[in-house]
């Protein structure tokens, strides 16, 4: 494992470690110790850092982003090494003297001091180019230097005014120390150091005898000046570290806030297309630049997509496809088409690529700094997980629908085959007897057999019609042709078709003399199914009842029987396809009639429901809307 930064010597370290790891056949890790760009790296160092990270990826190393939790990076570095079971840490030899490293601190010295079971090796590399590495301090700023001079001037004026009341040198020293601390905390290290130098000069000139000269007669004052300079430098450095940590904390807080709000957006769920549009809109406001989410199909090809803010050209589309196929970033700030206006980050799923996360910056061709890149990678990871969950949910839904269809098909085949086999067996037996009647056959026997054949043929016809009607209802091919029909006419037509089955039943019909708008063919099918259902599920000889009325622009019709009734909780389920209740499981039937009734009534804009009948039995209540006025009779 090696640390990666923006120093020129780091490139030689990366190549050296790559050769050593390749020779031993072991993996290697490059760790980037993150810090906000504006107070950690110079622009040139930031450019080199991006080149070094690309070099690690090109040579097959693993890049790990690490944010130190304190002023020293060594504890976090060693914790990561122990977590990844690293055996050797390699570092480049620093160009600074060793005494200066110990005084100011360095990663090498800290690792050597704190490491236990991990080997630390120092690799000699070429010397660093002078003036190209920013040590972490801010460069002097003339405006800040002017502010430091102004602050020291104010402290001097305040001291001169206080001298008329309290002539105590220690008080002036404390006043200047307060000024140094305030300037360093607010404006940085160099401004604080300048304030300490100016404070020493002002203290000697205005408040140390002989006044208004730079002469020092008492050697104790020389010690005071030395301590002030030293304390001022220490305070300036501590203040700079505090400012750096504050900025880093604010940067982390901003990143955390962006990721938290993004997770809230992703938690809303939805299909992949919905997540795609929602993320693009949200991140446009969060990142201040357009984001394009490109989804991959089952074959691994990116689906073409354009938005109001972004349109990919052919070259950028090819780079995005390359990034997804290779699983490596491409485009802006990378080795592949670095001049592109977009950075393409692959989003990997558990089984196959999910797509591409494309970020479009403001200035094409500029390097993407490490902080922004880490935020984009984290955002892409969250979006990838959300899209993966959405894809798995869609596949699970499709699998469930296929399983339900398969179960429905199996149940339908089982039910229909039984219902077809019974009448076909009866017809076959009757026709066989008719073909070979025997010497004792009489004309009455032949008529009985022919009647049986006719009844079973009608039963088969009804079953086939139910299957065809159900198919038409599910495919949306049923077209309701409403016309004004007397309610007595459509009910009478249905009763006439079931005249033979109703011979042993007491039938009560109470209908209003009214016209209602409906499709007579479809509504007659509803009545036939309801009456057939009442005949099958009620004992022979029990009465049936049909009654209706008109109220509040709605027509109501009830078909009632005195059967065993519907068990509690099955009032709605009996209208499902192929559902057979507990009390009707042994009764012949495919469970299609009531489903067809509900489909036809809903196509009319009405409702149908089942309820327990007072005194025992079941009643089916139909309600149809009455729109318009019936035609006037001549």
**Beta-strand relationship, 618-625 and 554-560:** antiparallel
> Does pLDDT of 136 surpass 50?
no
Q: Which of 342, 373, 398 is the last residue of a domain?
A: 398
Backbone Cα Rg of the chain? 44
276-301 b/e (C-beta count within 10 Å ≥ 16 → b): bebbbebbbebbebbbbbbbbeeeee
Indicate the average pLDDT of the chain: 80
Distance of alpha carbon 330 from the chain centroid: 24
Tokens read off for 497: 């078709």
Q: What is the DSSP letter of 296?
A: B
Return the closest-CA partner of residue 188 out of 247, 129, 130, 133. 247
d(CA 179, CA 612): 91
Going by pLDDT thresholds of 50, 70 and 90, the confidence category of residue 183 is confident
The three-state secondary structure class of 406 is helix
Task: Look at residue 516 and tell me if it is in a domain.
Answer: yes
Tokens read off for 634: 């001549």
- Tell me which residue has tokens 């729109």: 627
User: What CATH number does residue 383 fall under?
Assistant: 3.30.450.40
Tokens read off for 447: 């008529």
Burial of 404 (0-12, 13-18, 19+ CB in 10 A): exposed
Whether 158 and 189 share a structural domain: yes
End-to-end CA distance of the chain: 101
Residue 270 phi/psi, 5° resolution?
A: 110, 180
Whether 551 and 610 share a structural domain: yes
Whether 609 and 487 share a structural domain: yes
Q: What angle (nearest 5°) sits at the alpha carbon of residue 372, between those of residues 367 and 374?
A: 110
Domain membership of residue 194 as a residue range: 142-245
Max mean pLDDT among 56-60, 135-139, 314-318, 608-612 falls in 608-612
The three-state secondary structure class of 358 is strand
Whether 519 and 585 share a structural domain: yes
> Does pLDDT of 273 surpass 60?
yes
pLDDT at 168: 72
pLDDT at 38: 40
pLDDT at 127: 43
pLDDT at 287: 82
Please give the biggest Cα pair distance in the chain.
156
Whether 290 and 150 share a structural domain: no
pLDDT at 51: 79
d(CA 347, CA 505): 71
- The secondary structure of 549-586, three-state, reads EEECCEEEEEEECCCCCCCCCCCCHHHCCCCCCHHHCC
Q: Which of 90, 123, 156 is the last residue of a domain?
A: 123
Whether 208 and 286 share a structural domain: no
Going by pLDDT thresholds of 50, 70 and 90, the confidence category of residue 128 is very low
Q: What angle (nearest 5°) sits at the alpha carbon of residue 61, between those of residues 57 and 64?
A: 85
The three-state secondary structure class of 354 is strand
pLDDT in tens, 192-226: 888 888 988 888 888 887 888 888 777 777 888 88
d(CA 73, CA 65): 12
User: What CATH number does residue 500 fall under?
Assistant: 3.30.565.10
pLDDT at 37: 42
What would the mean pLDDT of 43-68 be, rounded to a whole number?
Answer: 78
User: What CATH number does residue 77 fall under?
Assistant: 3.40.50.620
pLDDT in tens, 486-512: 989 999 988 988 888 888 888 899 998
Task: Look at residue 423 and tell me if it is in a domain.
Answer: no
Burial of 112 (0-12, 13-18, 19+ CB in 10 A): middle
Helices and strands, counts by H and E, the chain:
17, 16
> Does pLDDT of 521 surpass 70?
yes
Whether 273 and 354 share a structural domain: yes
pLDDT in tens, 68-115: 766 677 888 888 888 888 888 888 766 555 555 555 556 777 777 777
Alpha-carbon torsion, ordered 536, 538, 542, 548, to 10 deg: -80
Task: Look at residue 130 and tell me if it is in a domain.
Answer: no
pLDDT at 139: 52
Going by pLDDT thresholds of 50, 70 and 90, the confidence category of residue 322 is confident
Specify the pTM. 0.53
Whether 484 and 621 share a structural domain: yes
Task: Look at residue 619 and tell me if it is in a domain.
Answer: yes
CA atoms within 13 A on the CB side of 397: 8
- The answer to whether 41 touches 35, Cβ cutoff 8 Å, is yes
Going by pLDDT thresholds of 50, 70 and 90, the confidence category of residue 177 is confident
pLDDT at 95: 58
pLDDT in tens, 223-232: 888 888 888 8
Task: Look at residue 484 and tell me if it is in a domain.
Answer: yes
Any bridge partners for residue 290, and if so which?
Answer: none
Task: Look at residue 417 and tell me if it is in a domain.
Answer: no
User: What's the domain count of the chain?
Assistant: 4
Residues 246-251: contacts with CB under 8 Å, at least 24 apart = 247/36, 247/38, 247/39, 248/35, 248/36, 248/67, 251/36, 251/371
Whether 92 and 189 share a structural domain: no
Residue 618 phi/psi, 5° resolution?
A: -130, 145
pLDDT at 544: 92
> Does pLDDT of 132 surpass 70?
no
Q: Which of 371, 398, 425 is the last residue of a domain?
A: 398
pLDDT at 432: 84
pLDDT at 44: 66
Helix (H) or strand (E) segment spanning residue 3? strand 2-4
pLDDT at 36: 46
Going by pLDDT thresholds of 50, 70 and 90, the confidence category of residue 16 is confident
pLDDT in tens, 454-474: 878 877 777 777 667 666 666
Task: Look at residue 556 and tell me if it is in a domain.
Answer: yes
pLDDT at 546: 92
Whether 204 and 276 share a structural domain: no
Length of the chain: 634
Alpha helices in 498-558 (DSSP H): 520-536
d(CA 326, CA 324): 6
> What percent of the chain is modeled with pLDDT above 90?
6
CA atoms within 13 A on the CB side of 116: 5
Of the listed ranges 71-75, 395-399, 513-517, 526-530, the one predicted with least confidence: 71-75
Whether 481 and 621 share a structural domain: yes
Whether 169 and 228 share a structural domain: yes
Task: Look at residue 129 and tell me if it is in a domain.
Answer: no
Residue 433 phi/psi, 5° resolution?
A: -65, -40
What would the mean pLDDT of 14-32 be, rounded to a whole number?
Answer: 88
> Does pLDDT of 39 surpass 50?
no
């Amino acid at each position: 494992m090696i640390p990666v930064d923006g120093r020129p010597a780091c490139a030689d370290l990366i190549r050296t470690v790559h050769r050593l790891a390749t020779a031993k056949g072991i993996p290697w890790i490059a760790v980037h110790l993150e810090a906000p760009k504006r107070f950690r790296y110079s622009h040139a160092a930031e450019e080199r850092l991006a080149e070094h990270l690309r070099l690690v990826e090109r040579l097959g190393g693993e890049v790990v982003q690490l944010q130190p939790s304190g002023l020293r990076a060594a504890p976090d570095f060693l914790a990561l090494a122990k977590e990844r079971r690293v055996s050797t840490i390699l570092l480049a030899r620093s160009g600074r003297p060793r005494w200066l490293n110990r005084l100011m601190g360095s990663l090498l010295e800290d690792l050597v001091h704190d490491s236990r079971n991990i080997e630390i090796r120092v690799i000699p590399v070429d010397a660093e180019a002078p003036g190209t590495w920013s040590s972490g301090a801010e460069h002097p700023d003339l405006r800040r230097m002017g502010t430091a001079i102004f602050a020291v001037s104010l402290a001097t004026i305040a001291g001169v005014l206080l001298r008329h009341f309290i002539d105590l040198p220690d008080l002036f020293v404390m006043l200047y120390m307060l000024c140094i601390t305030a300037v360093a905390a607010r404006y940085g290290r160099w401004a604080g150091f300048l304030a300490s130098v100016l404070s020493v000069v002002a203290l000697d000139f205005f408040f140390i005898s002989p006044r208004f000269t730079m002469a020092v007669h008492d050697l104790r004052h020389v010690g005071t000046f030395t301590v002030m300079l030293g304390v001022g430098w220490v305070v300036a450095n501590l203040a700079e570290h505090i400012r750096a940590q504050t900025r880093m904390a604010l940067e982390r807080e901003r990143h955390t806030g962006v990721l938290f709000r993004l997770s809230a957006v992703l938690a809303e769920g939805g299909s992949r297309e919905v997540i795609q549009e929602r993320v693009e809109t949200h991140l446009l406001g969060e990142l201040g630049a357009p984001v394009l989410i490109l989804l991959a199909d089952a074959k691994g090809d990116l689906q073409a997509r354009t938005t109001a803010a972004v349109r990919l050209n052919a070259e950028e589309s090819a780079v995005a496809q390359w990034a997804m196929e290779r699983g490596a970033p491409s485009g802006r700030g990378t080795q592949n088409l670095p001049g592109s206006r977009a950075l393409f980050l692959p989003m990997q799923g558990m089984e196959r690529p999910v797509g591409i996360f494309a970020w479009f910056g403001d200035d094409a061709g500029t390097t993407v700094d490490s902080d922004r890149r880490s935020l984009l990678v984290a955002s892409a990871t969250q979006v990838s997980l959300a899209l993966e969950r959405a894809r798995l949910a869609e596949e699970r839904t499709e699998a469930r629908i296929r399983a339900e269809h398969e179960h429905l098909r199996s149940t339908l085949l089982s039910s229909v085959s039984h219902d077809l086999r019974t009448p076909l067996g009866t017809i076959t037996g009757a026709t066989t007897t008719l073909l070979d009647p025997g010497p004792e056959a009489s004309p009455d026997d032949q008529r009985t057999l022919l009647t049986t054949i006719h009844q079973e043929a009608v039963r088969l016809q009804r079953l086939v019609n139910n299957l065809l009607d159900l198919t038409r209802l599910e495919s949306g091919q049923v077209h309701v042709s409403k016309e004004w029909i007397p309610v007595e006419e459509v009910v009478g037509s249905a009763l006439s078709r079931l005249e033979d089955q109703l011979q042993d039943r007491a039938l009560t019909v109470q209908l209003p003399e009214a016209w209602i708008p409906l499709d007579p063919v479809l509504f007659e099918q509803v009545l036939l199914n309801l009456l057939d259902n009442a005949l099958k599920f009620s004992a022979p000889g029990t009465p049936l009842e049909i009654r209706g009325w008109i109220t509040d622009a709605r027509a109501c019709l009830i078909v009632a029987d005195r059967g065993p009734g519907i068990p509690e909780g099955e009032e709605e389920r009996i209208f499902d396809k192929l559902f057979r209740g507990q009390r009707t499981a042994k009764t012949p039937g495919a469970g299609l009639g009531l489903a067809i009734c509900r489909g036809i009534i809903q196509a009319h804009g009405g409702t149908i429901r089942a309820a327990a009948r007072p005194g025992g039995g079941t009643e089916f209540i139909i309600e149809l809307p009455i729109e318009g006025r019936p035609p006037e009779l001549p």
